[in-house]
Amino acid sequence: MDNKRVVITGLGAVTPLGNNVEDTWNSIKKGESGIGPMTKMDPANYPVSVAAELKDFDVSPYVDKKEARRMDPFVQYAVAASHMAVKDANLEITEEIAPRTGVWIGSGIGGMGTYESEFEKFQKKGYRRVSPFFIPMMIPDMAAGQVSISLGAKGINSCTVTACASGANSIGDAFKVIQRGDADIMIAGGTEAPMIQMAFAGFSSAKALSLNEDPAKASRPFDRNRDGFVMGEGAGVVILETLESAKNRGAKIYGEITGYGSTGDAHHVTAPAPEGEGAARAMSQALGDAGISRETVDYINAHGTSTELNDKYETIATKTVFGDHAYKLAMSSTKSMTGHLLGAAGAIEAIFSLKAINESILPPTINHEEADPECDLDYVPNEARSKEIQTVMSNSLGFGGHNVALIFEKYAD
């Protein structure tokens, strides 16, 4: 039935490659990197010196300065991306549709930067100097809360916190909200602002970050010489709605979301399960949810973090699920250009998946210079490629053993 079909009608993003979807996607197609020297902190304090930072981000078109000061950057990014997505969808959230319009925006670490700065005040000057807005600036659900307030969306309002799978889980969860009839429209995605001291300290201590000092070469998923991920920041938001709602509005349709798989490794707090066992189950679950055969998938937007185990096990999981077809489909990691946006990664990669379908372009994996014998699939090395694309799977994996796969298909009436 039409009311069970869910389509995507709007896209919004702020990323290290641009402060909107168009600029970001144009850079992706050109194989350009958004990674540069670390500027928001002193690299002398860390073993890493590169990061994928936003450039010239300005929240003022979307919220006034007074309100912005009461928002952690992760909230500002989400509000900006959500306003862009709503505008792109040509959606007016009236009082009539507001109760059936929800928000589901995830974040991995929320307002950790606010916590850092307010704790410093507390240590030096006592509790009276801590902002009364400290808690509502910090908690991860406040991106969804502030987007709801800013746009007047009064439906279900939620936040998924599943580390680097947060954005993908949020889109999948929002998809299910609509599919089961609890909302007609959802503003969904992920956001992250991890350019802060403790985030770099923690990931550096865990030896998860690339030590490569060349910004353009540091993120190199599936390459033999990969040595860790590059921290990124930003937000991605999509507008999901019932096909019936989209048709009634005469909305343009970027594609249809048809499958969602979400599993747990039950293995380790940071390391993926051996052979990508949990990821493989999520991918199989998504195929089953979409009701499609594995041979119909043309492209996988990989989690592809540029870490040793992730890239190896995601490759093995893909071969487990797709068999011989794994060598026929294309699979690339756009993190080679954006860096790793943690809780926002799955959301911007969902946007890239939809743009790939619409423009018949496979995004590249840049910096793929030396093949790894254990990573032997078609990673679309170094240059984008033209290809008719009907079906895309987008994978996201997170600390804690969270595995997510989303399936997007070209819309057909």
Q: Is 340 a catalytic residue?
A: yes
Q: Is 164 a catalytic residue?
A: yes
CA 27, CA 339: separation in Å to the nearest integer? 13
Catalytic residue among 83, 159, 164, 402: 164
Q: Residue 128: how many CB atoms within 10 A of its CB?
A: 7
CA 278, CA 270: separation in Å to the nearest integer? 13
Catalytic residue among 83, 303, 368, 402: 303
The dihedral formed by the CA atoms of 307, 309, 311 and 314, expressed in degrees to the nearest 10: -150
Q: Residue 266: how many CB atoms within 10 A of its CB?
A: 9
User: Among residues 162, 160, 163, which one has the least CA distance to residue 202?
Assistant: 163
CA 316, CA 113: separation in Å to the nearest integer? 36
Q: Are 234 and 192 in contact (CB under 8 A)?
A: yes
Question: To which H or E segment does residue 79 belong?
Answer: helix 73-88
User: Among residues 17, 23, 11, 138, which one has the least CA distance to residue 83?
Assistant: 11
Catalytic residue among 83, 159, 340, 402: 340
Span between the terminal Cα atoms of the chain, in Å? 12
User: Among residues 157, 28, 62, which one has the least CA distance to residue 105?
Assistant: 157
CA 197, CA 120: separation in Å to the nearest integer? 12
CA 8, CA 85: separation in Å to the nearest integer? 10
Look up residue 209 and give its amino acid.
Answer: L
Question: To which H or E segment does residue 241 belong?
Answer: strand 234-242
308-312: long-range contacts (C-beta < 8 A, 24 or more apart)?
308/226, 308/227, 309/271, 309/272, 310/272, 310/397, 311/221, 311/222, 311/226, 311/372, 311/375, 312/372, 312/374, 312/375
CA 239, CA 82: separation in Å to the nearest integer? 8
Q: Is 159 a catalytic residue?
A: no
User: Helix crossing, 112-125 with 197-205: angle to 10°?
Assistant: 110
Query: What does DSSP assign to residue 328?
Result: T
Known catalytic residues are 164, 303, 340
